[in-house]
């Protein structure tokens, strides 16, 4: 069982640390296992009957089981199978680290087919499904496959949840680093909610990838 494997790496001090990072889930659901051990477990069981049964056994009891689940999904090589597995699992994601940890390698090879799923995830009413979609858009589509409509998807996403707003800010801070000319107008035009607007500026100013000139200008665009 995956839970038994995880408990072999149980670390109470690390559990306490993780509990502080994800205060919205019960501490009793956290075993206290570091990411390298979880990735190792996923690689060891990938393609086995144990993994097949585990992926079907939802919802999981432990936070780390959810992470191993997404690490297994990230190893799936067939695009359609991977998308199906992601769609099955996303409704069970209940915190930001699980939403943020997994980036299936197969996604990079299929940007043309992936983008419609990214839009669908962003539009979801489930906070962590939407956050996952925004992160994938940030990770996969700020390079050569960038389109000017993509930041509009993020700016148009409404919601008061802290983790949703933080992801929006993270997206725009990263976009300002990688696609400054195409995204600065969203800040200039106050297209984001005030909190998200200011947080995006803060994160961009803290980034080593944003020029000093751009940082100085961004500071003048903060809102009260």
| Residue ranges matching CATH 1.25.10.90 in the chain | 110-224
Start-to-end CA distance of the chain, whole Å, equals 52
Extended strands (E) in the chain: none
Average pLDDT over residues 110-130: 98
* pLDDT tens-digit readout, 183-192: 999 999 999 9
What CA–CA distance (Å, rounded) separates 144 from 216? 27
Average pLDDT over residues 54-61: 96
> Can you give the pLDDT at residue 162?
96
Average pLDDT over residues 26-51: 96
> Can you give the pLDDT at residue 102?
80
> Can you give the pLDDT at residue 224?
87
Other Cβ atoms closer than 10 A to 29: 17
> Can you give the pLDDT at residue 21?
93
The CATH architecture that domain 110-224 belongs to is Alpha Horseshoe (1.25)
Average pLDDT over residues 196-205: 98
What CA–CA distance (Å, rounded) separates 168 from 160? 11
> Can you give the pLDDT at residue 85?
97
* pLDDT tens-digit readout, 83-116: 999 999 999 999 999 999 888 999 999 999 999 9
Average pLDDT over residues 128-150: 97
Please state, in angstroms and as integers, the Cα–Cα distance from residue 148 to each residue in 66, 115, 182, 193, following that order.
34, 14, 7, 20
Mean residue pLDDT of the chain comes to 96
Say what percent of the chain tops pLDDT 70.
100
Show the tokens assigned to 203.
């994160």
Provide the pLDDT confidence category of residue 11 given band limits of 50, 70 and 90.
Answer: very high
Q: Which of 105, 101, 126 is nearest to 114 (CA)?
A: 105
Average pLDDT over residues 191-198: 97
> Can you give the pLDDT at residue 101?
86
């Amino acid at each position: 069982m995956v839970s038994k494997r995880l408990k072999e790496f149980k670390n109470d001090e690390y559990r306490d640390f993780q509990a502080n990072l994800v205060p919205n889930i019960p501490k009793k659901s956290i075993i206290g296992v570091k990411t390298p051990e979880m990735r190792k477990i996923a690689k060891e069981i990938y393609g086995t009957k144990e993994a097949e049964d585990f992926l079907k056994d939802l919802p999981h009891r432990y936070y780390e089981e959810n992470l191993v689940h997404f690490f297994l999904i990230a190893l799936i090589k067939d695009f359609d199978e991977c998308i199906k597995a992601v769609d099955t699992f996303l409704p069970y994601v209940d915190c930001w680290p699980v939403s943020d940890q997994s980036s299936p390698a197969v996604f990079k090879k299929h940007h043309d087919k992936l983008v419609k799923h990214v839009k669908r995830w962003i539009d979801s009413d489930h906070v962590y499904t939407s956050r996952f979609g925004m992160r994938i858009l940030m990770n996969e589509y700020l390079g050569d496959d960038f389109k000017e409509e993509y930041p509009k998807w993020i700016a148009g996403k409404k919601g008061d949840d802290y983790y949703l707003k933080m992801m929006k800010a993270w997206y725009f801070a990263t976009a300002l680093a990688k696609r400054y000319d195409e995204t600065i107008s969203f800040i200039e035009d106050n297209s984001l909610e005030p909190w998200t607007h200011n947080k995006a500026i803060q994160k961009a100013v803290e980034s080593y990838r944003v020029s000093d000139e751009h940082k100085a200008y961004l500071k003048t665009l903060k809102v009260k």
